[in-house]
Chain A
Amino acid sequence: MIEVEGLTKVYGGSHGARALDGVTFTVPEKSIFGFLGPNGAGKTTTIRILATVLQPTEGTIRIDGHDLGEDPLAVKENLGLMPDEVLFYPTLTGLQQLLYYASFYGIRRADARKRGKELLEQFGLGDEMAKKVKAYSHGMKKRLALAQCLLHDPHVLIMDEPANGLDPGGMRYFRDLIRWLNGQGKTIFLSSHMLYEVEQLCERVGIIDHGHIVAVDTIADLSARLTAGAPTVLRVSAAGVTDDGIRAVAAIPGVTNVERTPLGVDVTAKAGSDVSGEVSRALVMAGAALRELKAEQRSLEDLFLALTKGGGA
């Protein structure tokens, strides 16, 4: 579990740039938490503070019950970091990198070697483990980054853009892997530009903008909150929609607008009104062949754009 409260980071002295301002959120244990925000919103600063790389100016962070300010070493013991930029010591081999990092956790060298080899095999780097990292491709480095992140079997994983720069196959591989890790009981803090990826993986998301958290909730609740008070839009896919049919739909109480589309019609009704039954009946009665009728869902992208005032993730 990750509990962040009032996190503030000011660079360059008390009058410097305020990268984070009172950031507060909670990541429940064994969940996947999506962390979104436009460029420069404070995502990477938050991640570097969570990973104990940077020290906050103010605020408290508790990870698995350990206060990061008071007992950073206990936090580090159970934390795996996968940074956005995956760079390693160029003259070391993949396995040597893992052995070096394992030495910090008091893992015996023989055990570290066994564990390192297992992870490299698991992530498809079995044949590359003796090669120097400077010969690795971007995808291979991503996999090595994941291996170093899991080396000490941490409870909490902090992942910054894990699928960034990967081909569709690689993205899918990482998505499946993150689900699998979550299934193993890991708490995962996932920062990503890829809203589709976050939508697929995360129950809860936090959205940050200009150093402030603008929303923390489940995607469904966020969607409901944003759509409350907004008109309902029905997207109707139908053939043979006649002008009579359109007039009949427009006459239904609660309907405020009907618009012909290439697929059929879009029907806008007052907020809270459910007119789908009447709309389908009216169209069929007017001789249309109805194929599909569904209420418009707001995507995570819509939510993101609405909450960050159009800032690009």
Chain B
Amino acid sequence: MKPAPILLSTAFLHPAGQALPEPLLALRKQRGAALVDMPMPTRKTENWKYSSKYLKLTDEMAISLPTEGKTGSALAVPGYKVVFINGVVVPEASEYPDLDNILIQRFGDLSDAEASELAERLDSTLDAKAVQFAGLNSARFEDGLIIRLKPGAVLDQPLFIIHEVTADASGSAFPRIFVDAGPNSQITLVEEYISSGQESVFVNSVTEFVLAEGANVTNIRLSMDGDTVQHIGATGVTQQRSSRFESHCVGFGGPLRRHDLRVRLEGKGAECKLNGVVVTQGTQHYDNHTTIEHVSPNCNSEETYRNIATDKSHVVFNGRIHIHPDAQKSYANMHNKNLLLSTGAEIDTKPELEIYADDVKCAHGATIGQLDEESLFYLISRGIGRREANVLLTLAFINELVAQIPVDAVKDTVQIRLNQFFDQVFLEG
């Protein structure tokens, strides 16, 4: 007899925060009801094969983290920003752009009519079966941000969204963002996930982008939660004709890190570029699952992920490209390179190509390697110290991707964090 599956604890199905318009409360309830029989992933769950063992949710972590009186750490981010603490927007710490054609609202501030329209569209970019935990976010979000760009609206500088969790007690947070990018609009959105405190917490985030014809969206996702945070996040994207989506996901490891990025190229001539960098150490984990669906003809996708793992850490990359029968003249290119800095580290990579159209150009490649001894010898034979040579070569592995991040403040943050990593991993001498 097959053992009964372990289900998601019902403790997780009690949302807090009732300050939402009725249509959104109804949506939450409906999504929650759908999760009553949700089995927890095991190693036999295909898309959690390598990561299920890192997911350790306890009932103590089911409670929503308190938001009252939390101000978070002072963040000196220049320009437009929205600060979420424990999944709830802190208006006094935020700085919204003052533009007529870009509306940024908290879910709680929506009229019933607006909320009802939003409820129709939430989750539309994510396949509930493939991304089970996105449904949990929909059942639990207490707040959220909807960003609406009217036709032709252009945000003149990046909008930073800082998601901080205060892990002073066990609990969870469910940050939610919905971006409605109208025709020919443009925005650069930076999501930065950070935490303070040392208790075990669970972050379950979802960000959705709906790109209308000709919209141009750049999303930078910086995953820098602390060592006690398990984070399951999802980003869903749908793209209409000639729209462009560019994503830069930079992640540092933790006890559990999972990010699902799903892009659907629904309109002719849409294109996306997905870059990813993951760095793990100690016993950390990071799992990126990406899916690009070429639904319409003449769409381009370009994906480059690079992972670095050291000590006994574990990185997973699963990149799937699905070319639908009508998607003739698709161009899809996916590359994943991996660098193991120690023998105890593990990287599992799996590119998946499913092609149902005959006139397409697709390429994929994955490599796993170590630092090149010959290159190392070349550098030190010029008087460069071993530590510095190791740093130069490791940086070289991801430099190209870091250099492409279009926001300098983010690049600086990444560089500082990388320097910490190098200080810990490559010792003097």
A pairs with B:
no
Where the two chains meet, the residues of B that have a C-beta atom closer than 8 Å to any C-beta of A are: none
